[in-house]
Amino acid sequence: MKVFWGLGRLLTLMFWLVVLVNLLLPFVHPLHVLVNLAGALLLAVHLLELLLFRAQFRGRPAPGRDRLRVLLFGIFHLQTLATAPEASHA
């Protein structure tokens, strides 16, 4: 499963590099608009993930760094955040 999450991170990083290259050197007409639209949509999804999972950042050693990684990798970083184990009521 770690290979899957690592591959997802790599592909997400490569997508962000394509978006960055497209911003610096725009692709041909129909393609550059689609890449910008896909980048904006992915950024919106990652911002939504930040809002939905903001409670998981509390108590973390570096919550700002975790938020930045969620903006970059999205769910591929969220799955690495260890949730605190439930207290036993036995």
Is the four-CA dihedral 55, 60, 65, 70 of positive or negative sign? negative
pTM over cut 0.75: yes
Query: What residues contact 84, with CB distance under 8 A and at least 6 apart?
Result: 59
- Give pLDDT tens digits for 24-81: 999 998 999 999 999 999 999 999 999 998 888 888 888 889 889 989 998 888 787 7
